[in-house]
A and B are shown apart, each in its own frame.
Chain A
Amino acid sequence: MIDLIDLSSTLANLVSNTVLALQDAATSTATSTAAAATTLVEPVVEQRELTGDFWLPQASSTLAPATDFAFHAITWLSYVFFFAITFVLVYLTWKYRQRGTEVKYDADAPVHNTPLEVGWTVIPLLLVIAIFFMGFKGYLDLSTPPKNAYEINVTAAQWSWNFKYPNGATSNNLVVPAGQPVKLVMRSNDVLHSLFIPDFRVKQDVVPGRYSYLWFQADEPTGIVPEDQMPTTATGHYLFCTEYCGTDHSNMHRKVFVLNEEDFKEWEETQARWLDEVPDEELYSIAGPKLYLRCSNCHSIDGSAGTGPSWGNQTSGSIAGLGTLWTRASEGTSPIDGGTRDNGGSTLADYIGPGKLYETPEDYIRESIYNPGALLVSGYGPNMPHFKGQLNDRAIDAIIGMMKQLDQFDAKGRFVGKAAN
C-alpha cells in the first residue's frame, strides 16, 4: 500500500502544482474576473489555486488575513520558545553529560534560584495575557456580523447540507455574492454538525435545538459549476462537516462558489424558478436526477446496500430481490418493522390500498419523504431527515416519476434514456 513509486509521484505532483500555482498567481485576478462573467453561459472548470502558504490554505475572506496574522505571530512565538528550550536542553545535556564511568557529584550545583524562578513564572504570564488580548480582538470581529449582511438559511442533516436563499431558492452547494457580508443562520435536523470553510477561516457547530450563526465576506469570485459535475471540479472553496455525525460523516462535504453581484442575482432567480421551467413531460428526466443528488448519499440506484433502502433492486438485507422501490411499494412487498404509524402490519400491503393508511403507493412515497419516521422498512432506522418545506409537490412528482422509470437512469442517477437499456 505504501510504495516508493507513489511517494515519488506524489512529490512530483506537489512540485508541478506549486509551479502551476506560481504561474497562475500572476494572472489570477484577470482570469477569475473573466471566469465569473461567463459563468452562466458555460461551466468554468479551472485549476484550483494552491496559493496558501506552508501552514494555511489560501486566505479568501476579508477577515482571514487578521486570523492569519495572529496565527503566524503565535506560531513564530512558539518557534522561538521551542527552539530556545530545545537549545538549552541540548546544551545542558552536552555540557553536563557524565564523562567516564565514575559517578561524581557537584556539591555546588544549583538547586534553587529565586530570581530565575520568579522570572519564568512572571514572563510567560505576561506573554499569555498579551496573546489573550490579541485573540480576543479577532474573536469579537469574527463573532459580530455586520448589520447589512446577506442572510442564508442552512439546514444540516445526516449527511447533506441544504442552503435556502431569501427569494426561496435552495441549493446543495453554497453560492454567495462577492464583496458583501454573508451571514449563515444554521440549524440541524438531527445530530451535531459543524460547518467549516478552511479558505475563509470560519467554523461553527450546527446544533440541534438551537440556531447558530457564522459570517464572512469573500471578495474574489470563483465561478460556478453545475452540481452533476461536482466530484471532478476544482472550482470553488471546500466546505466540510467537522463534527463527527455518523457513518457517512466523511462524505458530508460541499463547495462554496462566490459570484459577483450580477451573476449572483441571476443565479438566484434561475435557481428559484428552475423547477417551474422544466416541461412537465421532462420533469422526471431533468428534475429527477438533480433532486436525487440529495438522496444519493443514502439511497443507491444500482441495488447496492446503503444507509437507506436502495431505489433499485437491492441485493442484500430484508428487501433483497423484491424489485425496485416502486415495485416494492406498488406490490406492497416491503417488510415493515416500526415507525410512528406502525400498527402491527407486516408488509406494505397492510398499509396501502383503499381504506387503508395510504390510498395509493404515491401517497406512501410522498409521506415517506415528508415524514420518514412514519413507517420503517425492516432493518432500517428513523434516520432520514424530513423534507417538509424543502420539496414541493412538483419536486415530489419528479422524484416519483424517476422511481417509476428507474431503468432509464444509470447507477449514478444520470438520465440515459430508453434506448440505453
Chain B
Amino acid sequence: MQWAISVDHKKLAMMYIGAGLIFFLVGGIEAAFMRLQLAQAGNEIVDPATFNQLFTMHGTTMVFLVGMPILLGFGNYLIPLMVGARDMAFPRLNAFGFWLFIFGGLLLYFSYVGADGLYGAGTAPDVGWFAYAPLTSRTFSRGNSTDYWILGILVSGFGSMTTAINFIATILCMRCPGMKLMRMPMIAWMMLVVAFLVLVAIPILTAAQSMLLFDRTLGAHFFDPETQGSAILWQHLFWFFGHPEVYILILPAFGFVSEIMPTFSRKVIFGYPLMVAATVGIGFISLGVWAHHMFVVGLGPVLDSFFGATTFLISVPTGIKIFNWLGTMWGGRLQFTTPMLFVTGFVAMFVIGGLTGIMLATVPMDWQLSDSYFVVGHFHYVLFGGTVFGIFGALFYWFPKATGRMLNERLGKWTFWLLFIGFTLTFMPMHVSGALGMPRRIYTYEVDRGWEIWNLISSIGVPVQMAGVAIFLWNVVRSLRKGEVAGDDPWDAWTLEWSTTSPPPDWNFDRIPTCTSARPLWDRKHPEDPDAHYE
C-alpha cells in the first residue's frame, strides 16, 4: 500500500523498472515461441494467426512496455539524485504517469481475453507493431483487438509525456547550487534530450492513433484509400514518431555508458563538450530522418535522397560518441566489473548496429534489404545489443544504491557472457538470411531457399539468452536477501547519488549538496587536486 500511494521518485522508478522487467519476460517468451516456430522449415508449432499476434505483441511490448518504462524509470531514479534535488519537480504528476503506463500495458494485454482479431482469427492485436494502414481499418481488422492496441499505447503514451515534462522541469530548474548545465552528469544531458524528443514525437503518435480511432469507430476516412484517404499518411505520422522513438530508447543507454565507463576507467569522460554537442545534434537530426523507413514506398528521388542524406548525417554524431568512449578508456585503469563488461559489450554491438544502419540508408541496398531479416538483425543490434546491454549494465551499477546490497559479481559475469553469446548466435545470422531474401514476419518457409541453417543457429541462441536472464533473476532474488552490503559508495564514483546512503532516505540528501565541478564527489575526496582547478 505504501508503494501504491507513493509519489516518491525512487519508489515509482523501482516500480517502473520492475514492471518493465516483467513485461520483458513476457515479450521474451513471445519471441522464444517465434524462434521455435522458425527453427526449421515447415514447422507447425503455432498457426499463422498466432504467429502474427506474437510478433505484434513482442514488438509493441518491447518498445512501449519494456524499453520506455525501464529507461524512464532510470531517469526517474537518477535525475533528482544526480542533480542534487529532493524529488522530481511534480511528484504527483510523476505517479500519475506511472499508473497510466501500467493501465495502458494491462489494457493491451487484456486483449488476449477480451478482443476479437482479424477475421475472427484470434484475440490479441495482429497488425504488426507499426500497424500499417489500411490493414488496421474496420474492413480488414474486424473485431476490436486493434482498438485495444490503439488505446493501450495511447494511454501509456500520455504517461510518457507527463514524465518528460517532469524530466525537463527537474533538470532545468532543480539543480543544486553550483551545478551549471555544463557540469551536469552526461546522463542528465541524455535524459534532457530524450524528454524533448518524447514531447515532440509521442503527441504525433497520439494524434495518429486518435485519427485511426475516428476511422474505425466514427466512420472518418483519414487512412482509407477507397475514399480519398491515404495509406501513406499513416506511415509518415507513425515514423515521425517512430524514428525519434529509436533515439528515445538508445540515448538513455548512451547515458549509462557515459557514467559507467568513466567510473571503471578511473578517468573523466573523454571530450565532455563534444559529447554534449553530439547528443543535442542527434536530438535535432533524429527529427528529420523518419522517411528512411519508407524507401520502398516510392516517394520519389527528392524525398528519398533527402532522407538518405540526413540518415548518413546522423551517423556522424553517433560515431563521435563511440570514439569518445574509446578515448575514455585510453590511458585509464580499467576495472572489469559486470557493469563495465556490459557497457564494453554495448560499444562493440552498437558499432555493428550502426554500420548496418549505414548499409540500410544506401537506397539501392535498402531495396534488397528492407523488410527482410537483415532489418530485424539491424534493429536488434541497436535495441538489444545497445539498449538492453546498457540497461543490464545500469541494473548492476545502481542496484547497490537502490537496495543497499551488491549483486553477485560471479553470477553477473555468467549473465553477461551467456547474453553476449546467445545474442550473437540469435541475431548475427539474421543479417545473412535477410540478405539472401528472407522476408520478415513470415511464419514459415520452405526447405529449398538456403535459409535453414541461419534460422536454426538463430533459434539455438534463444535458450542461451534465457539461461542468462534466469541467472540474473536468481542473482536479484539472492542478493536482495544476502548480498554483500554495499555502503554509500561501493564503486568509488563521482556523481552525487553516491554521496547519500544506500538506499537513499525519502528526502535524498540531509543537506542539499553543492557542486564545484562535473565530478563533485571527486572534489570532496581529493581536496588536494580538485577538478574545479581545471575548469
Contact = CB atoms under 8 A, between A and B. Distances in A.
B372 A111 contact: no
Contact of A113 (B272, B327, B333): B327
Contact of A107 (B320, B365, B446, B529): B529
A241 B359 contact: no
Contact of A56 (B139, B272, B364, B436): B436
A259 interface: no
Interface string B438-459: 0111111110111011001001
A106 B316 contact: no
A249 interface: yes
Interface in B295-329: 296-298, 301, 304-305, 308-309, 312-313, 315-316, 319-320, 322-324, 326-327, 329
A274 interface: no
Nearest to B230: A209
B532 to A, nearest CB: 15
B507 interface: no
B140 A246 contact: yes
Given A1-B39, A54-B432, A203 B363 contact: no
Q: Specify which of B226, B316, B344 lies most central, judged by the most chain A CB atoms within 10 Å of its CB.
A: B316
A143 B128 CA distance: 28
Nearest to B275: A117
Interface in A60-77: 66-67, 70-71, 74-75
A340 to B, nearest CB: 12
A120 B267 contact: no
A92 B225 contact: no
Nearest to B52: A247
A416 interface: no
Given A50-B450, A383-B140, A203 B323 contact: no
Contacts of B271: 111-113, 117
A339 B226 CA distance: 16
A105 B522 CA distance: 12
B368 interface: yes
Interface residues of B, number: 105
Nearest to A129: B312
Interface in A217-263: 231, 234, 238, 240-251
Contacts of B232: 207, 210
Interface string A299-333: 00000000100000000000000000000000000
A105 B440 contact: no
B119 interface: yes
B236 interface: no
Contacts of B344: 89, 93
A57 B268 contact: no
Contact of A142 (B52, B308, B320, B364): B364
Interface stretch (A23-31, A275-283, A374-382, A392-400): A374-382
A377 B341 CA distance: 60
Given A106-B331, A191-B134, A204-B296, A128 B45 contact: no
B145 to A, nearest CB: 13
Contact of B444 (A54, A135, A141, A250): A250
Contacts of B330: 92, 96, 109-110
Contacts of A66: 364
A380 to B, nearest CB: 7
B236 to A, nearest CB: 13
Interface stretch (B21-29, B77-85, B346-354, B399-407): B346-354
Contacts of B334: 92-93, 96-98
A178 to B, nearest CB: 21
Nearest to B55: A244
A80 to B, nearest CB: 10
Interface in A163-216: 190-192, 194, 196, 198-199, 201-205, 207-210, 212-213
Contacts of A240: 437, 439
Interface of B: 36, 39-40, 43, 45, 48-49, 51-52, 118-121, 126, 128, 132-135, 139-140, 142, 225-226, 229-232, 265-272, 274, 296-298, 301, 304-305, 308-309, 312-313, 315-316, 319-320, 322-324, 326-327, 329-336, 344, 347-348, 351-352, 355-356, 358-359, 361-365, 367-368, 370-372, 432, 435-437, 439-446, 448-450, 452-453, 456, 459-460, 492, 529
15 contacts: A1-B36, A48-B448, A54-B432, A88-B326, A105-B266, A105-B333, A110-B270, A128-B315, A138-B363, A192-B231, A198-B368, A207-B297, A242-B372, A247-B119, A249-B52
Closest 7 CB pairs between A and B? A198-B437, A209-B225, A109-B331, A135-B362, A138-B364, A128-B312, A250-B442
Given A71-B368, A109-B331, A249-B442, 4 more contacts: A89-B329, A89-B348, A96-B265, A135-B362
